Amino acid sequence: NAGVMTRPAGVGIFNDPLPWITPASMDRLIGVNMYGVLWGALACLPALEERKGTLLVTSSGAGIQPFALDPTYTMTKFALVGLTCSLAPTLEERGVRAVTVCPHAVDTAIRPPDLHEKKLADGYSSPPAHMAESILHIYDRARSGEVWYSRAGDLPFLVDMEKHYYA
């Protein structure tokens, strides 16, 4: 009823990607990371339009900076940033705000167990509760078409896309 729809989705390889890049692995990766978000967003669009709501798409820090550990994951997350920023003017005409959030690393099972444990021990990952707080912070401040970055222990901040890509 709040008129907010968040679309987090993600699978990745997080390993030497070259042996893993196959048509089947790419179908899965694109199917979850891109199509899952796109089809879910489109399915909720009528309700968001009715409520003048917010589409909050969760990309990744890998959506705004290279992530050599998994370039195919990075490709899909860059696509989400492009999709949301490009859809924003059209959705805004319909009364829907479209915002992208790019979390640095969240403590989830997306990473292999060995990498997961190392990132936790290093304080590299933020707990899911931090991500929830970040989303509330962004929701209260963001304008349509904006991209926000969230990192462990910090308040999320607006990414200046023009400076980020064209500096």
- Both ends of the chain: CA-CA distance in Å? 41
CA 10 to CA 110: how far, in whole Å? 7
- Asked whether 63 and 102 are in contact (CB, 8 A), the reply is yes
51 sits in the region (left: phi over 0; alpha: psi -120 to 50; else beta) called alpha
Task: State the DSSP H helix or E strand holding residue 87, giving kind and residue range, or none if neither.
Answer: helix 71-93
Best CA proximity match to 73, nearest among 17, 132, 23, 127: 17
Given 35, 73, 139, 166, which residue is catalytic? Answer: 73
CA 78 to CA 30: how far, in whole Å? 12
Q: For the chain, give the number of residues.
A: 167
């990371």: which residue's tokens?
A: 33
Q: How many CB atoms lie within 10 A of CB 33?
A: 24
Whether 73 is a known active-site residue: answer yes
- Give the active site residues: 73
